[in-house]
Structure 1
Amino acid sequence: MNANKARVIFHVDMNSFYASVEMAYEPMLKGKPLAVAGNPEERKGIIITSNYEARAKGVKTTMPIWQARKLCPELIIRTPNFERYRYASREIFKRLNAISPFVEPVSIDEGYMDVTDVVDPKNTIQLAEDLQKKILNELDLPCSIGIAPNKFLAKMASDMKKPLGITVLRKRDIPYKLWPMPVGEMYGVGKKTAEKLIAIDIHTIGDLAAADVYQLKQILGINGERLRNRANGIDLRAVDPDAVNEFKSIGSSETLPMDTTNELEIRSLLSALAENVEIRMKRKQVAGGTVQITVRYHDRKTITRSKKLLNFIEKKEDILKVALELFNSHWNQEPIRLLGITVSDMEEKQNIVKQLDLFTYKKEAEKEKLYDAIDELTQKFGKNPFVDIKAVDNHQPRTSFQKDFLDDYKK
């Protein structure tokens, strides 16, 4: 890549992605208010996303289903199908990658492209239009594209016009396009950060751009300076196709249908979560050195507890053993709403050198033979017949976005 050339970055952001995928699979849903949500029969059912017809009636992400139905009685609800969304995501990123090798997925439905060396500056908008049409015509999925000289500005640009928008945001546009916006609408500024900024009289992105760096560092640390730079259009990050591999943890969590103190139900869910984490770790060929549990109680109070291990682990039973140990030590016996297990301090298995004494080595070797045999039987006959677990969702992802799936388009 020519380092001296002014960069041209696209941020491609799918519009109402899950709802759009459902409409592509079931065209009769088009034009009707649609939401993707958890199980409508269970209390945990909240809106994950909705199409623009539903949004026009006031339906919003994270809204409980009952509230959404009150605002929009004719609302159609579909439960999430993450395998379907993952397939659509893979097809989208294949099309991006066909244009430029410099593609960086950042979630299942958005990513950056550096097209500096593949497009004449005069034809940049035409390239964006052609890409947008290609994704719409071939996959029946709408997207918005932001065009800018860096990632931050491209991201801000893609949010400026939806659906099916194409927005150019140059550095010379910043004073009148970016600075008048409320600081809470700036990418990288969450609700708590916005509250801290407003408390020191920073209300717009322009206010942030002109703010005192020392004062920002006092309340936000190094992130204060970073945000001020971004507000001034400064972002030196490259579009990195390998960034998707730089994950530090793999986790799985689930909200229980009802708050519970039932230990059998709790153990069953922890077992299923540990299995889900093992499956994803196996796919990435990694092991981890720290196990963390998350417990959210009936009153929404949430705790996390972790344990650093002497050896790396990757197997479900090892993950579950540590998770149960942490849970038993820290559960206060109050009703539980959500449980999660995360394994962190990741390392690729090929890089791990495990210090084993003779006896440990013998045990590990014997276990590996057993695991290989079980894997072979599982491939031949289906799910592992030796482990009695509460199967959940056929190992579908439990969250809307999992970074370890984002390199699928390269396979």
Structure 2
Amino acid sequence: MGDTTPTYDIFELFGDWRGPAIGLMDLDAFFASVEQLDHPEWRGKPVIVGGLPEERGVVSTASYEARPFGVHSAMPSAQAMRLCPHAIWTHGHFDRYREMSAKVMAILADETPYVDQVSIDEAFFDITPGRFSRENPIDIARRIQRRVSELGITCSIGLGPNKTVAKISSDRMKPRGLTVVPPGTEASFLEPLPVRAMSGIGASAEESLKNIGIHTLGQLAAAPTARLTSVFGVNAEAMRLRAAGCEQSSVSAIDAPDEVKSVSNERTFAHDLTERADIEAALALLGESVGRRLRRKGLAGHTVTVKLNYAYGKGRSAQRRLPHPTDDENIFVGVACELLDKIWSPGMPVRLLGIGVSGFAEQGSVQTDLFCDLDERGAVASDRRDLSVAVDRVRERFGSTSVGFGRAARFGDDLVREDKFLSQNKPRD
């Protein structure tokens, strides 16, 4: 793996650490790093994990050797091939990535019981002195990095008094970086950074903030809340406090149930879909996976979202709130097909399609009526749900491709493969 010596940036520290200590551990170019670990002949060479250009694929992860050529995650594979034609390509080995991720998360669990896994390669952890250990948080973070490097991969860590600061600081030095922002220094650390550095501020919000003269997090923190309402709505004050470093964060104990905000599935197609029948069939296939994961987690949601892209980076989405929660694709896929009328016109090419279910926290507010069947949880179910559950069991025992419906034949094997990971397990750079 080459040099695995960490680099450090301690923003400011006087005496002992006093106050919260929240870390964000981010595995460096995780998928590509595992591939280089397992293929020693690939070390020091540009490696790209993702779909091939001829498959209309997308880059999942690029090694640090590929990045100087401009290759990055979520880039169309065809563009990555043009930028770095000599790169080594692989579809990836996702069981192996899960195995390595589990080993890393076990290291965090050894150090503290307070760990929130954000994705397959990223997790928050709480090492506040006195909460579980009296050791200096910087020493713990350094030990985590050393133990991860013993696995043959590396990580970068941001350490600060809350999750926002930890997240931003984890991106400050990569790879093998440790950026420390002790309590009391968070405001001065955040002040000069561009607003886009803070999660929750995308391109649209960044442009809106620029239009009112706000370019840095310091300017955002100093702005009157009323001035920010046009950009963030009811979240204006919360975003201002985050930019000021005043966020109050908590990290749950490992054995606490995960808070899942949504379950979704999306896919980019080798050839654009232009016929409504094909789009609806694709939604049904994607919905099967969403329904299966909802039932596996014991979740039922109120909100259905459908998303489509008609060109790279350009798309539309629509959603609808249901009167009753559901985990039944025979219900929510039908709603998604109705939502197509809002975002799709006949002949419009569909490059990417997605479907998701959310609104799980609302399950306590169920109102019954005379025209739908509710199960014991108050969730709405169709007369075909039992069939879906039976299919779930067959697939769990014999594999995701062991049984399917005829609509899968429209797309070949590519679409019916199970998603690489759940939405919360998507890798990041």
TM-score (normalised: structure 1): 0.81
2:142 aligned with 1:129, yes or no? Answer: yes
Choose which of 168, 171, 177 in structure 2 pairs with 1:165.
Answer: 177
Decide whether aligned partners of structure 1 residues 311 and 176 sit closer, same or farther in structure 2, where only a CA change above 3 A counts. closer
| Alignment-derived partner of residue 338 in structure 1 | 352
Aligned to 2:45: 32
Match of 2:60 in 1: 48
Q: Does 1:286 align with 2:299?
A: yes
Deviation string 1:337-396 (CA, Å, 9 cap, x unpaired) is 2222222333799998977899999xx898676666655655665555473352546643
Per-residue deviation, 1:310: 5.1
CA deviation after TM superposition for structure 1 residue 331, in Å: 4.2
Query: For 2:206, which of 186, 189, 194 is the aligned residue?
Result: 194
SS of residue in 2 equivalent to 1:53: coil
Q: Is the 1:292–1:305 contact (alpha carbons within 8 Å) kept by the matching residues of 2?
A: yes
Letter matched to residue 173 of structure 1: T
SS in 2 for 1:342: strand
Cα RMSD (Å) of the superposition?
Answer: 3.6
Report whether the alignment pairs 1:403 with 2:424. yes
Q: Structure 2: which 5+ runs fail to align? A: 1-17, 376-380
Are 1:269 and 2:287 an aligned pair?
no
Given residue 186 of structure 1, which amino acid in structure 2 is its aligned partner? M
Deviations 1:298-318 (A, max 9, x none): 597634344444554334434
Q: CA–CA distance in 2 between the matches of 1:41 and 1:278?
A: 30
1:164 CA drift (Å) = 0.8
Distance of 2:66 and 2:252 partners within structure 1: 36
For residues 17-28 of structure 1, the aligned pairs below 5 Å read 17-28=30-41
Residue pair 2:302, 2:362 contacting (<8 A) in 1 also = no
1:74 to 73, 78, 86: 86
Distance in 1, Cα, partners of 2:115 & 2:260 = 17
SS of the aligned residue for 1:245 comes to coil
Q: CA deviation at 1:107?
A: 2.2
Distance in 2 of aligned mates of 1:325 and 1:151: 39
Shift of 1:106: 2.0
Deviations 1:137-172 (A, max 9, x none): 12x221111122222222222122111111211244
SS of 2:226's equivalent in the other structure is helix
Structure 2 CA distance for aligned equivalents of residues 136 and 358 of structure 1:
55
Cα distance change of structure 1 residues 56 and 285 upon mapping to structure 2, 3 Å threshold: same
More divergent stretch after superposition (301-310 vs 342-351): 342-351
Do the aligned residues in 1 keep the contact of 2:264 with 2:423 (CA within 8 Å)? no
Structure-2 change in CA distance of 1:69 and 1:227 (3 Å): same
Distance 2:239 2:385 in 1: 49
Distance 1:306 1:228, change over 3 A: closer
Decide whether the 8 Å contact of 2:263 with 2:422 is kept in 1: no
Task: Note closer, same or farther for the CA distance 1:142–1:396 as it changes in structure 2 (3 Å cut).
Answer: farther
Q: Tell me whether 1:178 sits opposite 2:200 in the alignment.
A: no
Write out aligned runs for 1:206-355 (5 A): 206-241=218-253, 245-263=258-276, 265-297=278-310, 302-309=315-322, 311-327=324-340, 331-334=344-347, 335-346=349-360
Alpha carbons 1:284, 1:404 under 8 Å: kept: no
- Summarize deviations over 1:66-108 as a string: whole Å, max 9, x none: 3333332212222244444333323222221222111112222
Q: Which amino acid aligns with 1:224?
A: A
1:184-203 Cα shifts (integer Å, max 9, x gaps) = 32344322222222222223
Runs of 5+ consecutive residues of structure 1 not aligned to the other structure: 407-411
Match of 2:406 among 361, 371, 388: 388
Q: For 1:213 and 1:371, how far apart are their aligned partners in 2?
A: 48
Match of 2:8 in 1: none
Give the TM-score normalised by the residue count of structure 2.
Answer: 0.78
Higher percent of residues as helix: 1
How many angstroms does 1:25 deviate by?
A: 2.8
Report SS of the residue matched to 2:300. strand
Change (3 A) 1:388 1:53: same
- Secondary structure of residue in 1 paired with 2:89: strand
Which range is displaced more, 32-41 or 208-217? 208-217
> Structure 2 CA distance, aligned partners of 1:79 and 1:135?
24
Quote the residue 1:409 is aligned against: none
